[in-house]
Structure 1
Amino acid sequence: MLVKRIAFYITGKCIKLAVLLIAVSILSFILVSHSPIDPVQSYIGADITRVSPEQRDNIAEYWGLNEPPIQQFLNWGKHLLQGDMGTSLIYRSPVAEVIAERFLASLALMSVAWVLSGLFGYVLGMTAGMKEGTWVDKLIKGYCFTLASTPAFWLGLLLLMLFSVWLGWLPIGLGSPAGILEEDVTFMERLRHLILPAVTLSIVGVANIALHTRQKLVDVMNSDYVRFAKAKGEHGLKLLWRHGLRNISLPAISVHFASFGELFGGAVLAEQVFSYPGLGQAVVEAGLGGDVPLLLGIVLCSTVFVFIGNLAADILYKVVDPRIRRGEI
């Protein structure tokens, strides 16, 4: 019965996703079409002065940029329904291939950052909640408030100067050592290049999870049933394990999975700072270069990515909390 309900739930969510993708596509195309950047000029680059008006017209015709914006969008949508996301003006290759190549790098970065931010945020939040009002609680809150107001790119530059420039422990940037073929790059070398971007992204994401977990644990610890448990002699880790963890697990899941959108936005900044070859760097290049097919393709993929995170959280709710399955809350 539970599997059947979840199947119906997922089907309804998929319908909503389809409507959301259509709306996001239309809105994104409208914004891009009003951009002051000339795609033809970005495509030609520094040789713009040596290109005649006839050649510009031929380039615009080849890429379909001479047609009205509405027709361009309809052509893009028609090819998308056929499984073709178009060709990138910047990379001169299919958008699907560019996204697939860049997504793997971004997925590795965001996965490591997501796990680290969730783990440390949850631990810090529980520690602060159990030590409410003490110097430990004040120290953790101050740390989290500082992180919450710290821009990701500034923190990335700070870590870059400290660990790469001054100490020389980690590479300055990129996803692999320069001048080495991709097939010759070892796993440890890729890991060393991943450390600083992942740490930057995870540190920024710790604050929200820690503060939210702390507040929920404080509410639980001040509840009547916890007071009754304390009166029976329960305290410390036993009290936290029996009454705290279960009651704060759902809010923690909610905040952590809902952070997919913030995670992707933070990855854009982190990848720019460290020149990491992921989707974040590609979307900036597509925006600055007027590469509409690549930009729309990345927007759709990021929308699906965030949607999957929220859907996974909702499904976990129904699995973890029987009250939600019965519709009681």
Structure 2
Amino acid sequence: MIKINGKRLAKFLGLKAIRLLILLIVIAAISFIMIQLSPIDPVKAYLGQRLVSQEQLAIVGEYWGTNLSLGERVMGWLQTLASGSMGFSLIYRAPVTEVIIQKFTASFTLMLVSWVISAVVGFGLGVIAGAKEGTIIDKAIKTYCYILQSSPTFWIGLVILMVFSVYLRWFPIGLSVPIGQLSDTVTFWQWLYRLILPAFTLSIVGIASLTMYTRDKLISVKKSDYFLFSQARGESFWGIIKNHGIRNILIPAITVQFMSFNELFGGTILVEQVFAYPGIGQATVAAGLRSDVPLLLGIVLISATFVFVGNLLADVIYEYVDPRIRSENDE
């Protein structure tokens, strides 16, 4: 049974919360300054090819605050953020918070399904490769992982899209709902049918690293004294793997999986573009191309928080769930 020191955990989480707050402030300020120093004029990017007079440009610039100095814009945005608001999206004509909630909900579903798939497949392949070290199965799995690690996510997505959607026509080309149908009327099976390819593509991001890590950890376990002693006692090989090997590599593997949140979020942007999936990735690209500063900054803060939470969960699991780590730290 896992016993956790409440005071120690509270102190640990408190320090992490302070670190997150400082991190968000620094990221917000740096991101805002970098965007404001960009040569792209947000007013002209928003208006596009429409012909407007200089007076109209000045009116729009004054409304958006682009006529203010850099310091005034930074302080104004930080004050807006401190009030609990992220501003107003220029391209979606809605509060940034509402846009992020709507887009991130769709992306989170995609990331969660992909994360589970990569965890199960990656861990399973790692166990098989580690148990069959040096065999043709091990070499095949390693080659598969090397190919995944050396291939860009968007290229893999395009190949999967061409094979299964264009040539075989087993799945739709893109979008999360059928064309001409409202999202409220989409059935669960329709939604799942359109989620399969994006989720499968995104899961590839984390399979290779987890597989190789699990393989190496299991090989180390196989060389340990207690593993060799169990073999000398006559226990079956797969019985030892199940009772001793998997138990010793599971916590480190889960830790590595939680630490892959940053790769998962980055892969989401590329996958959503390939499959035209209306999530946070598409919103990020749209905000960047059309210089929607409030939305882009809001997404930066949310993505930083998302990655930080993933690393925090990894730290908690590593330090508070593994009894060996707890016993070492309590001494």
After superposition, the C-alpha distances for 1:174-201 in whole angstroms (9 at most, x for unaligned) are 1111111222111111111111110000
* SS, match of residue 264 in structure 1: helix
Partner of 2:208: 207
Task: Show CA shifts across 1:301-324 (max 9, x none).
Answer: 011111111111122223421232
Q: 1:284 is matched with which residue?
A: 285
Deviations 1:238-296 (A, max 9, x none): 10122211221222022100000000000000001111111111111111111111111
The residue type equivalent to 1:35 in the other structure is S
Deviation per CA, 1:187-220, whole angstroms, max 9, x where unpaired? 1111111111100000232000000000011011
TM-score by length of 2: 0.96
Q: Tell me how far 1:68 sits from its aligned partner.
A: 1.1
Bigger Cα displacement from structure 2, 224-233 vs 120-129: 224-233
Displacement of 1:328 in angstroms is 6.1
Alignment coverage as a number of residue pairs: 327
Which residue of 30, 35, 40 corresponds with 1:32?
35
Gaps of 5+ in 2: none
Contact 2:205 2:263 in 1 (8 A): no
User: 2:171 matched to which residue of 1?
Assistant: 170
Which residue does the alignment assign to 2:157?
156
For residues 197-236 of structure 1, the aligned pairs below 5 Å read 197-236=198-237
Q: Secondary structure at the match of 2:277?
A: coil
**CA–CA separation in structure 2 for the residues paired with 1:77 and 1:211:** 43
CA distance in 2, matches of 1:272, 1:35: 23
**The 10-residue stretch of structure 1 (265-274 or 230-239) with the greater mean CA deviation from structure 2:** 230-239
Percentage of matched positions with identical amino acids:
54
Question: RMSD over aligned Cα, in angstroms?
Answer: 1.3
The residue matched to 1:169 in structure 2 has which SS?
Answer: coil
Q: Does 1:12 align with 2:15?
A: yes
Q: Is the 8 A contact 2:24 2:301 kept in 1?
A: yes
Residue 23 of structure 1: how far off its partner (Å): 1.2
For structure 1, the residue ranges without an aligned partner over 5 or more in a row are none
Secondary structure of the equivalent of 1:270?
helix
- Partner residue, 1:23: 26
Moved over 6 A (4+): none
**What code does the residue aligned with 1:30 have?**
I
Counterpart AA for 2:141: I
Q: Which moved more, 1:91-100 or 1:319-328?
A: 319-328
Q: How does 1:89-104 map to 2 (within 5 A)?
A: 89-104=90-105
Partner of 2:69: 68
Q: 1:161-184 CA distances to partner (integer Å, 9 max, x unpaired)? A: 111111111110011111112221
Q: Are the counterparts in 2 of residues 150 and 204 from structure 1 also a CA contact under 8 Å? A: no
Contact 1:37/1:288 (<8 A) preserved: no
Cα distance in 2, alignment partners of residues 295 and 70 from structure 1: 19
